[in-house]
Amino acid sequence: MIADLDALPDISDETGYRPLFKPDSLMGWTAIPRVYGDLYPGGPPMSEVFAQRGVTPVEDPEAHLPRWTLSDGVLTGGQSEPGSGYGGYLISDADFGDFDFAVEVRPDWPADTGVMLRRRRDDWAGFQVLVDHRPSGSIGGFFGNGLASFSAVPFSIDARTDETGRPLGLRADAPETSLEPVTPDKIARLSLAGSVEDFLDAWRWKGWNELRVRCVGGDLPVITTWVNGNLTAQLDTATLDSPLYDATAVARHLGARGHIAFEVHDNDAALGTSRWAPGAVCRWRGMRIREY
């Protein structure tokens, strides 16, 4: 386990990185449905939580795998059929411990996606780095899938639009109209939080944007994100304070190694097509990793 974060190489130093994918091949990766498990290790199933909230997930997700292609080095993910509302993941067959991860991403608007770390194969639990390119979304923040659904984000974004409602770029989310407001608690869960101004200055609308992630620290890692070279957020999963989050139970459940998974979200009743537009895709390229 890495104890001294300051002793690690600069995140942008390419020494030691290797490709995560074989050229234009999905060998070593498996498409799986978006199936919900428990709210937290040993907790109630998400089906009960959704019922209490009046949310109806899509039915029979196992029959509707997400669509993934890899061509000319570009990984493209979309819902099972455009506009179907069914999402899922592309998960690595290999597992990983401590590492640096780098990728360029180009999502449509809106598209709710992300990268899962320390993901289990037999349930949905894992730490998610958010790439929620949608109204009230967060890019570079964190969510705890099957880990008490914690949200730890530095800011949220929305689209700037013209008079016809056509999106033109990103802006800071307006708290008074936000679908998922960023509360002080969500920011306080981070040990480091970047500014929305720096993020917006660097983000390339309809272009490629670089995401780098450092995940180090064994059973309870410190996870840090950079977007286009700007430090965006850092989460210490050992000291995270969030309702129902139990670090000891999380460490026992996930362990020091897990899978990496790319996400295509489903369209739930809460956000519908504001979460994933009919026919939208997310593109990824240059997927590479440096292990410690």
Question: What are the structural domain ranges in the chain?
Answer: 5-160+169-174+190-291
Is residue 157 over pLDDT 70? yes
Per-residue model confidence as pLDDT tens digits over 238-260:
999 999 999 999 999 999 999 99
The pLDDT value recorded for residue 3 is 62
CATH no. of 5-160+169-174+190-291 = 2.60.120.560
Q: Label residues 2-12 b or e (16+ Cβ within 10 Å = b).
A: eeeeeeeeebe
Is residue 1 over pLDDT 70? no
Comparison of pLDDT for 58 and 169, the residue scoring more: 169
Is residue 42 over pLDDT 80? yes
Burial class (CB in 10 A: 0-12, 13-18, 19+), 123: middle
Question: Mean of the per-residue pLDDT values for the chain?
Answer: 96
Q: What angle do CA 27, 131, 203 make, to 5 degrees?
A: 115
